[in-house]
Amino acid sequence: MPFSLDEDQLDCLQELINVAMGQASDQLARYLDTFVFLKVPNIELVKAEEFSKSLTGDNQSTAVVSQGFFGYEGIRGEALLVYQHKDSDHIADLLGYDPDELSDEEQLIDISSILTTTFLNVFARQIDNQLSYNAPKLLTSEQDSMSEYLDHLSFSWDIALKVNITYQVTDYSFNCDMILLIPESAIIDIKTVINRILEAL
């Protein structure tokens, strides 16, 4: 299958992700002055139909901040920060905002920007790339638009490489998932970059 990664390619991608998520976690921990715990990221191929159902099916209290990214050599994708509403209620406390200082939407976008841009900028530097970003957009599972939006991201896809990273802020009993979706058209480009890194080792 042209979109799959062999063991060496997967290990290389895993290491790139580990470095990027470590720095994103450190940035968040410094910003919040607390400890951020990371789980081992999960990397898999996912079908668009299955992924849409996983976000909109069982859980009726989800908030998602979505932001497209694109760079050189065909590198592109979508970063989704997924929150449970019981956790998103802690955002104001996490960021030290006064009541009514910012809307819930602005708070979610604020903390999402810290994680998304830090992670992706570090990832891009490791592969000698530079990324640009679309404006972030907040969706909730109560909105009929979530499923529709996921079917019309910044790229058209049937299969994508999905990277799932969980951040846990222990002092606040708060966690969120960062999901990266890299469409099939960009997976081949990712493999080309990874092969170049492996050949240089």
Q: Which two tokens stand for residue 154?
A: 């910044």
**CA R_g for the chain:** 17
Q: How far apart are CA 136 and CA 134, in angstroms?
A: 6
**Residue recorded with tokens 């990214």:** 69
Whether pLDDT at 82 is above 80 = yes
Residue % of the chain over a pLDDT of 70? 74
What's the pLDDT score for residue 9? 92
Cβ neighbours for 139, distance < 8 A, ≥ 6 positions apart: 63, 64, 65, 66, 145, 146, 149
In the chain, what is the straight-line distance between the N-terminal and C-terminal CA atoms, in Å?
25
> Residues 73-97: what's their mean pLDDT?
75
SS3 93: helix
Mean pLDDT of 70-76: 88
Average pLDDT, the chain: 80
* Res. 154: pLDDT tops 60: no
CATH number 3.40.50.1950 is the correct assignment for the domain at 7-200 = no
Q: Name the token pair of 20.
A: 């990027």
Each residue's pLDDT tens digit, 100-151: 666 777 778 887 888 888 899 999 999 989 999 988 888 765 554 556 666 6
Dihedrals phi, psi of 163, to nearest 5 degrees = -115, 120
Question: What are the residue ranges spanned by the domains of the chain?
Answer: 7-200
